[in-house]
Amino acid sequence: MVLQRRDWISSVGYSSAYCRARTPRKGLSVLSRANFFWFYYPVSWLAVLALTLHIAFYDVYLISPRDVGGTFMGGMNGPLFASAWMLTTGVLLLSLLLRLPGSIPACIAAGLLPLGIGTWWLINYPNDAEQQIYSITPHEIGSTMFIGAALLALGLFLRSRLRNNRLGSRPVLIGKAIVATLIAIVFIGAPIRIAMQLSLPNCAFDKDGHQLTICLSDEDERFIVD
C-alpha cells in the first residue's frame, strides 16, 4: 500500500510538472526564433535589396560622363548624389556589421557595379574634340573603380570567413529585425516621397493650406492638390 501510494504521488507530480511545461507563454517569450524567421529574413533581404538599388542608381549617374558645360559648378545633382552614395554605402557597411541576411551578396554587387560601369566608360569615353566639359574624368572613373574593387574584396573575404551565420539570442534577432525594417522604410519610402514631390507642379498647396512645392516667384499661381 505504501509503495502504491508513493507511485501515485510521483505520477501526480509528473503530470502537474508536464502541465506546467505545456502552459502557453505570454508576452515577448512567444516570439521564438522559429516564429520570427518569417519576418526577419524577408525584411532583411528587402532592406539590402533597396540599398543595392540605390547604389546602382548613384553609380550609373555619377560614373557616366555628362556634359556640364554652361552649368554653375557642374550642377548640384553631382554633390547631392555623391553624398547620398556615401550615406547608402555607410548603411550597407552597417548591415555587414550586423550580419543581416543578404548583406554580403549586396556588398559584392556594390563592388561589381562601379567596376563594370567604369570599365565601359573608360573604353567608350566621349571625344572631347569640341572642348566639352564632362562631369567625371577618366582619372575619377579609375578612383571609383578602386573603391568598387575594395567593396568586392571585402564581400568576398566575408563570404569566405562567415559561412556560418549565427543568429544569436532572441533579443539580438529582434534588434536586427528592427534595424532592417527601418532601413527598408527609409530607402523605399524616400524615393516614393521624392517621386510624389516631383510629380507636383510648382507652387502646389494642399486643401489645408500647407505648401508642398516651392514657388519660383511671387506671381506664380497657386495649385491646390488633393
Q: What is the mean pLDDT of each run of 10 residues along the chain (226 residues)?
A: 46 46 46 66 95 96 79 63 94 94 95 96 80 81 96 95 70 89 94 75 71 65 69
Report the pLDDT value the prediction gives residue 42, as an integer from 0 to 100: 92
Place of cell 497657386: 222
H-type alpha helices, 67-163: 77-98, 103-123, 138-161
**CA separation (Å) from 103 to 143, 159, 192?**
24, 10, 23
Closest of 68, 57, 72 to residue 126, by C-alpha? 68
Q: Could you please report the per-residue DSSP string of 167-182?
A: ---HHHHHHHHHHHHH
* Residue 29, pLDDT score: 46
- In this prediction, residue 224 carries a pLDDT of 74
**pLDDT at residue 14, rounded to an integer:** 43
Q: What residue segments make up the domains of the chain, in order of their start?
A: 29-199
